[in-house]
Structure 1
Amino acid sequence: MVEEEKVEAYVNIKDKTANPSPLGFTGLGLSAVLLSLSYIGLYPVDSMIVSMAIFLGGFAQVIAGIMAWKKGSVFGGTAFCAFGLFWFSLAGLILMPLIGWIEGPEPIALAAYLFLWGVYTFVMLLATLKLGSKAIMFVFVVLFVLFMLLAIVNATGNTGLLVIAGYVGLILGLASLYTGLAEVLNDAYGRTVAPI
């Protein structure tokens, strides 16, 4: 009886897919900037905000999250998908009462919603401590502060604090845009052009 020889072959597959983080940070950044400007009082929350929430805040981040998950990033997949779905839920909170599907939330319910997102963000912030990116860590610190400020605004009705939250949101949006665009520039130039 002839013994069969076992041959093992190893295939090294190189991941050629792009980094999805710039898309996710762009979705968060542009949506946060435009929503925050409404908190500051430049314009009301209208179809522009809802459209940004759905199409850039929502879809862009969920797509980035799915791409990050495919690349093996538990943090990126979870963060971008969850926060993308946050933007969808925010759009739903605005649209559903307008079209008569259901009553809008009471301020205390909205405060609870924002507080829970703040708690979630804090836990994700703890994960950023191991990522080695000061820019991403900063985005999550500011996002945590923003959620907590907005929860307090809705619990107390303090409109002056809403303007402060608007400026914090503006910082968040600009920091997120910086992070995403820095990643694009660093990739395009093949070196660190903008530190993250």
Structure 2
Amino acid sequence: MDNVVPAGSTATSSTSTSTLGHLALGLTLLAFGVGHTGVIDNVTAADASAVATWVGGVALFIAGLLEFRAGSAGTGTAFAGLGAFWFTWGTGVGTEVSAEAAGLFLLLWALLALTLTVASAGSGLFVQGVYGLLTVTLLLLGIASFAENGGLAKAGGWVGAVAGLAAWYGATAALAKWPAFPRRAAGRGVTATG
């Protein structure tokens, strides 16, 4: 019996992997963001470390490898890169580092998020919006860490939570076949694409 699995880079398998990746990213961002806001008593960003390590790190990295295999270099890069970020962050929680080192870590990863934002220009508003909000989240948290400013960290947490909700909604809409945006009436000579 042949144990080799064919690559089978169909649009359906890539779409499924992409949806799974966006769900993983959304849930991780939501947990990470809410933890930074302080909106729930006794819940901090550090409490999201297990979600970040396993869902945001391992699952997202594997989704990235599957996207590469399906021929989607952009989504593969996004998921694998973000998987590496979440795994590194999740396993590093509790490690004693200076505020400056933590700020630098977040700002360096904000560069990846910025790259993903720019590179996803043709991927749709949800995808580009999620990466854009992630960029803002990491910038705010990085600057907050350098400045040791709790208010700025909470603002970054709120932006991260919104990014997580957007990623979750986009993936859920894809699975449920909901429209990503309400359809608008098309004017003369304009087509409504949804």
TM range (shorter): 0.7 to 0.9
Letter in 2 for 1:24: G
Describe the SS at the equivalent of 1:178: helix
Q: What is the correspondence of 1:66-105 to structure 2 with a 5 Å cutoff? A: 66-95=65-94, 97=95, 104-105=96-97
2:127 to 110, 122, 136: 136
AA aligned opposite 2:78: A
Secondary structure of 1:17 counterpart: helix
Q: Give the AA of the match of 2:44.
A: V
1:123 aligns with 2:115: yes
TM-score (norm 1): 0.80
Q: Is the 8 A contact 2:31 2:45 kept in 1?
A: no
Q: Percent identity?
A: 27
- The alignment yields a C-alpha RMSD, in angstroms, of 1.9
TM-aligned CA deviation for residue 48 of structure 1: 4.7
Whether contact under 8 Å (2:64, 2:77) holds in the other structure is yes
What is the CA deviation profile of residues 48-106 of structure 1, one whole-angstrom value per residue up to 9, with x for unaligned ones? 512111221112211211111111011111100110111110012115x3xxxxxx221
Aligned residues: 170
Report the CA distance between 1:37 and its aligned residue: 1.5
One-letter amino acid of the counterpart of residue 67, structure 2: A
**Unaligned runs of at least 5 residues, structure 1:** 1-12, 98-103, 187-192
CA distance in 1, matches of 2:25, 2:65: 15
**Paired residue for 1:108?**
100
Q: Corresponding residue for 1:10? A: none
Specify every segment of 5 or more residues in structure 2 that has no aligned partner in the other structure, as ranges: 1-7, 182-194
Offset at 1:44? 3.2
**Contact 1:93 / 1:105 at 8 angstroms: preserved in 2?**
no
Match of 1:17 in 2: 13
Shift of the alpha carbon at 1:179? 1.5
1:77–1:157 distance in 2 versus 1, CA, 3 Å:
same
- Output the CA distance in 1 between the equivalents of 2:158 and 2:164: 10
**AA of the residue aligned to 2:34:** L
Distance 1:145 1:46, change over 3 A: closer
Amino acid at match of 1:119: L
Structure 2 residue aligned with 1:194:
179
Helix, strand or coil for the counterpart of 1:143? helix
Is 1:156 aligned to residue 147 of structure 2? yes
The verdict on how the C-alpha distance between 1:108 and 1:14 changes in structure 2, with shifts beyond 3 A counting, is: closer
Provide the secondary structure at the position in 2 that maps to 1:195.
coil
Q: CA deviation at 1:14?
A: 7.0
The 3 A distance-change label for structure 1 pair 14 and 93 is: closer
* 1:28 and 2:20 are equivalent in the alignment: no
